[in-house]
Amino acid sequence: MKTTRMDGASPTATRRAWHALESAEALERLESSENGLASDEAARRLEEHGANRLAPPAGKSPLLRFLSHFHNMLIYLLLVAAVVTALLGHWVDTGVIMGVVFINSFIGFMQEGKAERALDAIRNLLSLKAMLLRDGRKAPVPAEEIVPGDIVLLQSGDKVPADLRLIKAKNLRIDESILTGESVAASKHTDCAPEPAALGDQRSMAFSGTLVTYGQATGVVTATGEHTEIGRISAMLSDVEPLATPLIQKMSAFGRVLAVVIIGVAAVTFSIGVFVHSFPAGSTFLAAVSLAVAAIPEGLPAIMTITLSIGVQRMAGRHAIIRHLPAVDTLGAVTTICSDKTGTLTRNEMTARSVHLPDQRFAAEGVGYAPRGQLHLDGEAVGSPAEHPALLALLETGLLCNDASLREDQGQWHIDGDPTEGALLVLAQKAGLDPEALSEAHPRLDSIPFESEHRYMATLNGDGAGGTRICVKGAPERILDMCTAQGWGEDECALDRAYWEQVLDGEAQLGQRLLAVAYRTSEPDRSTLDMAVVEGGLTLLGVVGIIDPPRDEAIRAIAECQSAGIRVKMITGDHAATARAIGQELSIGDGKHALTGRDLDKMGDDELRKAVEETDIFARVDPEHKLRLVRAVQANGHVVAMTGDGVNDAPALKSADVGVAMGRRGTEVSKEASDMVLTDDNFASIAHAVEEGRTVYDNLRKAILFVLPASGGEALTIIAAVLLGWEEMPITPVQILWVNMVCSITLGIALAFEPPEKDVMRRPPRHPKANLLSSHFLWRISFVSALLCAGTFGVFLWALDKGADIEVARTAAVNTLVFFEVFYLFGVRHIHSSVLNFEGIFGNRVVLAAALTIVVAQLLYTYVPLSHTLFGTASLNPAFWAVILAVAAVVFVVVEMEKVILARIRFAKIS
Ligand code: ATP
C-alpha cells in the first residue's frame, strides 16, 4: 500500500477527535481497511512511528542512586569518625574509613542495580500479544509491533494494546478505571461521539492499557506508544515497586531501631571509658565508634535484597513469574492451594472418545490430535457417517460451532484454539468430514463465544438452503435446560431428560468431560444472535465424551504438597462425577465428596466455612463461587493460593493471598489481578514456587541468623574490653570495618545461594503470624555472640600473655573472629538439622568459594606489608594459627551440639 499523508503529518502526530469520526472515515484517514495493513506497510510504519511501548518511568539518575547509599546511619557515623581521626591526625585511619565508605556505597549501588535489572527482565517475560488482522489474516503479534492503521481484534479478558477507533463492537464493556478512575466498566459501541467529549464519554474508542471485561470488538489503531492517552499521563507510569517484601520491610524497621539502641549503648560505653576508667576522650571515642560500626548489621539489607532477587530469578527459571514481590514471602506460608482442573491439573489434550445419540453410543479410536482412527458402533467400524444421519448432524453442528483449527507440523498435530473444540474437530475429521467445505456451505453470520459464566457457545449459520440455523454446544446440564426435543430429522421427539441424566452420570464416572450438542432452525432473515434467542426451544443432538488425562507431574506435585502440609482443592467447571473421577487419579479428595455450584448457592457463609474443611472437590462452579470459596477458606485461618484464567476470576485472584494466573491460557485481566503468573500453566509450577518461597524465607532467616551474632560478637568484645578497663582495644575501628564490610558481607551473601533444604517440602507450612525473631533465634544469636566474644577476647589476652606485641595480639583476635564466622557460616546452612555430612559441608559451592576467598583475604590481611600500614596488622607464626583455628572451630562444634540437644527436646515434647 502506498502512503500519501493527508495532512503532511503522521496520523498520530496531530491529535484528532477520532471518536467523532465515522469508523469508515477513520479507516480512510489512517489509510487502512477492514482487512488490516499489509505486512510490508506495517513494517514501514513501525519504522516511522517507533515501537508501541511507553518509555520506562524516569527513575532516579545513577548519581542520585549512588548518593542515596550514603543516606544511612552507619555512613554518617563513619563520616564523623573520619573527621575525628583527621582531627587527631590519624591520617591512615581517615583514609581507610573514607575508602570503606565509598567501597560500601559502590557495592550497594552495583548490587541494587543488578537486582533491579534482573527483576525487570523477569517482568518483561510477560509481554503482551495482540490479535491483529494483517494481510487479511488473523495473527497474534507482539503489542510492541502495532502501528497506526492496524486492525485489532478484542475479546473479553484482553488488554487493549493501543488507542483504537472501534469499527465493530458486540456487547463490549471496557474497564477504564486506569484512565478515568471509574470502576464500573463502560459499555462501548461504534457510533460517533460528540466532538468535545471527556475520555469517559468517548464510547466509540478503546484506550491502550484498559481491560475488556465483556464482549468482542474490532478497532483500527489511532495512536501507539507515547501518543496514546495512557502515554500522556506520565504520573500513572511511575509505579516502580520497591525491592522489598513484608519480611524485608520488617527487618529494615528493626534495623533502624537497632541502630538507635546501638548508638545509645556506644554513648554509655564512651562515658564509662572516659568517666569511670579515665581513658583519653579521643581513643575512647574511636572505641565507641568501633562498637557502633561492629554492632550495626549494615550488610543485612544488601544480603536480603540479593536473596530475594535470586529467589525470584529461580522461580522464573521454574516457570513462575512473580508480579508482586510480597508474594514471595506469602508463598512460603501457603497452606491451601485451590486449583483449576483443565490444563493445570490435566494436560488439556482433549480427545473425544464417545458420542451418545438418543439411541446409540459410538466409540472413537485414537488419542491426541492426530485425525487417525475410526468410529465404532457396537464394535463394528462405521464406514461413512452419511449412513448415520443423526451422527453426521451432530458432527457437523460441532464443527460449525467451533473456532479451533488443526495443523500438522513435522509429523506432530497441533490445535490452535480451545482444546475442547479441537477434540470435536479431530473427531469430525476421523469420520471423514471436511471442515472448510462445511463452513463454506454454511457461512457463519454471528456467534456467542464460550465463557465459563454461561458455559456454552452458539453460532448462527446459513443452512445451505437460504435459511439459518443456530448451532450450540456446551455443558450438558446447561444445554438440557435449553432443549425441548431430541434427535434428528424424522426421529425427532420430545426430550427424555431422565435418560440423558443417566447417560451423563455413566460417562462422567469414567472421568470424561462432557459436551452436549444441539441446534435449532431459525428465522431466514436473522443475522445476529443473542442469549435470549439461543436459550430455548433447542433440539439435543447428542453428547460427546472427552478424555483429558491428568498431568503426571501434577500427580507428583500434589503428593509433594500434601507431604508439605498443604491441602490441594480442585475447583472446576466440569461435571461433579468427572471431577471426582479425575480427583481420584490425582489423589485429591476422598473420591466420594464433591460439592457443586448449586450446593454452594444453598449454603450460608458459616455452613460454607464448615464445608470447605471437609470437601476438596468443587464442580460446576462459576467464577463468582470462587470468590466465596477463597473467603471461606481464608476465614478458617488458611493462607490460600488460587489459580484463575478468565475475566471473572479476577476478584478471586485479588482476594487470594497469592493469586496465580495462567501465562498461556489466561486472559490479560486475570494476569493483571494476579501476584504470580505461570508460564507453563502447570500445577507443578505452583508447588515449585512454594518450595522456592519457603527457601527464600529460610535463606533470609539464615542471613539474619548469621549476621546478627557476627555483629553481636564484635560489639560484645569491645564492650567487654571497655568495661574491664582495657585501654588498648582488642580490635581497632579500621579492623572492625575490615571484618564487617569485607568478611561478614562476603560470607553472608553466600547464604543467598543456598539451595532448598532436603526437608523443605516435608515440613508443615510456617505459621503466617510466626515471629521472625523466635525464642530459638534470640537464644542462638545470644549464645553465639557470647562465644565469639569470649574466643576473640580470649585469644587476644592469650597472645599478650605470651608476650606478643599489641599488633600481633590484635591480628590474632581479628583472625579468630573472622574464622569464627567462617565456621559458623557452615553451621548456619541448616537451621535445625546437622551439617555433618557431605551435602552439609560441600552442598553450596558459593559458600565454599566465599570461605576460600576469605582465607586468601585473611592471609593478605596478615602478611602483606600494605595491610600492616593500613590496618595495623602484623605477621603471625604457625603456632598462632593452630590456636586460632582450634578456638574458631569451637563454634561449629557447639552449634551442632545445640541442634542435637534441641532436636531431642522437641522429640521428647512430641512423644
Ligand atoms: P477448569 O477446570 O479449569 O475450571 P473447565 O474447563 O472444567 O475448567 P469450564 O472451562 O468452565 O471449566 O468448562 C465447563 C464446561 O463447559 C465443560 O465441562 C464443558 O462441558 C463446557 N465447555 C468447555 N469448553 C467449551 C467450549 N469451547 N464450547 C462449549 N462448551 C464448552
Q: What is the pLDDT of residue 250?
A: 78
Q: What is the pLDDT of residue 56?
A: 66
CA of 453 to the centre of ligand 1 (A): 10
Number of the ligand 1 atom closest to the C-alpha atom of 514: 20
From the CB of 579, is ligand 1 less than 6 Å away?
no
> CA–CA distance from 206 to each of 35, 37, 187, 201, 211 (Å)?
19, 19, 10, 11, 9
- Cβ–Cβ contacts within 10 Å for residue 187, how many? 13
From the CB of 616, is ligand 1 less than 6 Å away?
no
Short-list 101, 5, 102, CA closest to 45: 5
CA 870, CA 2: separation in Å to the nearest integer? Answer: 73
pTM of this structure = 0.84
The answer to whether 24 and 239 are in contact (CB under 8 A) is no
Q: What is the pLDDT of residue 348?
A: 87
From the CB of 148, is ligand 1 less than 6 Å away?
no
What does the angle CA 5 – CA 11 – CA 14 come to, to the nearest 5 degrees? 110
CA 559, CA 762: separation in Å to the nearest integer? Answer: 10
CA of 449 to the centre of ligand 1 (A): 12
Site to probe by mutation for ligand 1, drawn from 350, 450, 667 as the one with most ligand atoms within 8 Å of Cβ, is 450
Three-class SS state of 449: coil
Number of the ligand 1 atom closest to the C-alpha atom of 340: 3
From the CB of 472, is ligand 1 less than 6 Å away?
no
CA of 629 to the centre of ligand 1 (A): 19
CA of 475 to the centre of ligand 1 (A): 7
Candidates 150, 158, 175, 340; catalytic one = 340
CA 219, CA 702: separation in Å to the nearest integer? Answer: 54
Number of the ligand 1 atom closest to the C-alpha atom of 418: 27
Cell 565508605 belongs to residue: 101
CA 42, CA 30: separation in Å to the nearest integer? Answer: 12
What does the angle CA 308 – CA 309 – CA 314 come to, to the nearest 5 degrees? 100
Three-class SS state of 296: coil
CA 338, CA 558: separation in Å to the nearest integer? Answer: 11
CA of 572 to the centre of ligand 1 (A): 8
Distance linking the first and last C-alpha atoms of the chain: 82
CA 421, CA 610: separation in Å to the nearest integer? Answer: 37
From the CB of 332, is ligand 1 less than 6 Å away?
no
Q: What is the distance, to the nearest Å, from the Cα of residue 791 to the centroid of all Cα atoms in its chain? A: 46
The answer to whether 641 and 657 are in contact (CB under 8 A) is yes
Catalytic residue at 340?
yes
- Nearest residue by C-alpha to atom 31 in ligand 1: 474
One-letter amino acid for residue 489 of the chain: G
From the CB of 550, is ligand 1 less than 6 Å away?
no
From the CB of 421, is ligand 1 less than 6 Å away?
yes
Site to probe by mutation for ligand 1, drawn from 572, 580, 596, 648 as the one with most ligand atoms within 8 Å of Cβ, is 572
From the CB of 542, is ligand 1 less than 6 Å away?
no
From the CB of 474, is ligand 1 less than 6 Å away?
yes
Q: What is the pLDDT of residue 57?
A: 60
- Nearest residue by C-alpha to atom 5 in ligand 1: 573
CA 568, CA 755: separation in Å to the nearest integer? Answer: 25
Point out which residues pair with 205 in neighbouring strands.
Answer: 165
From the CB of 388, is ligand 1 less than 6 Å away?
no
Site to probe by mutation for ligand 1, drawn from 478, 544, 574, 625 as the one with most ligand atoms within 8 Å of Cβ, is 574
CA 127, CA 864: separation in Å to the nearest integer? Answer: 53
Number of the ligand 1 atom closest to the C-alpha atom of 513: 18
Task: Count Cα atoms within 13 angstroms, Cβ side, for 404.
Answer: 25
From the CB of 404, is ligand 1 less than 6 Å away?
no
- Nearest residue by C-alpha to atom 4 in ligand 1: 572
CA 241, CA 235: separation in Å to the nearest integer? Answer: 14
Three-class SS state of 515: strand
What does the angle CA 405 – CA 408 – CA 411 come to, to the nearest 5 degrees? 155
- Nearest residue by C-alpha to atom 14 in ligand 1: 573
- In degrees rounded to 5, what are phi and psi of residue 278? 55, 40
Question: Could you report the average pLDDT of every consecutive run of 10 residues in the chain (911 residues)?
Answer: 36 65 91 91 93 73 80 77 83 82 80 75 75 88 93 92 93 87 86 84 91 91 89 56 70 80 88 88 81 79 83 92 87 94 90 93 87 88 86 96 89 87 94 92 92 91 91 95 94 94 89 94 91 92 94 94 95 90 91 89 94 94 90 94 90 93 89 91 95 93 91 88 83 86 85 91 85 84 94 94 93 95 94 87 92 96 94 93 96 92 79 61
From the CB of 515, is ligand 1 less than 6 Å away?
yes
C-alpha cell at 735: 579492623
Short-list 365, 439, 357, CA closest to 396: 439
Q: What is the pLDDT of residue 537?
A: 92
From the CB of 649, is ligand 1 less than 6 Å away?
no
Contacts of 14 (CB under 8 A, 6+ apart): 7
Number of the ligand 1 atom closest to the C-alpha atom of 575: 18
- Cβ–Cβ contacts within 10 Å for residue 562, how many? 14
Q: What is the distance, to the nearest Å, from the Cα of residue 321 to the centroid of all Cα atoms in its chain? A: 4
From the CB of 480, is ligand 1 less than 6 Å away?
no
CA of 451 to the centre of ligand 1 (A): 8
CA of 575 to the centre of ligand 1 (A): 9
- Nearest residue by C-alpha to atom 12 in ligand 1: 573
- Nearest residue by C-alpha to atom 24 in ligand 1: 420
From the CB of 478, is ligand 1 less than 6 Å away?
no
CA 66, CA 331: separation in Å to the nearest integer? Answer: 32
Short-list 540, 519, 421, CA closest to 476: 540
The answer to whether 588 and 558 are in contact (CB under 8 A) is yes
> CA–CA distance from 172 to each of 36, 114, 155, 185, 205 (Å)?
21, 43, 8, 9, 11
Contacts of 563 (CB under 8 A, 6+ apart): 761, 762
CA 76, CA 631: separation in Å to the nearest integer? Answer: 48
Number of the ligand 1 atom closest to the C-alpha atom of 343: 3
What does the angle CA 750 – CA 752 – CA 755 come to, to the nearest 5 degrees? 95
- Nearest residue by C-alpha to atom 29 in ligand 1: 474
From the CB of 457, is ligand 1 less than 6 Å away?
yes
From the CB of 548, is ligand 1 less than 6 Å away?
no
Report DSSP letters for 355-366, one per residue: EE-SS-EEEE--
> Is the C-alpha dihedral spanning 519, 520, 525, 526 positive or negative?
negative
CA of 371 to the centre of ligand 1 (A): 22
C-alpha cell at 803: 608476650
Helical spans, DSSP H, in 296-325: 300-317
CA 866, CA 871: separation in Å to the nearest integer? Answer: 8
CA of 402 to the centre of ligand 1 (A): 14
Number of the ligand 1 atom closest to the C-alpha atom of 643: 3
Q: What is the distance, to the nearest Å, from the Cα of residue 182 to the centroid of all Cα atoms in its chain? A: 28
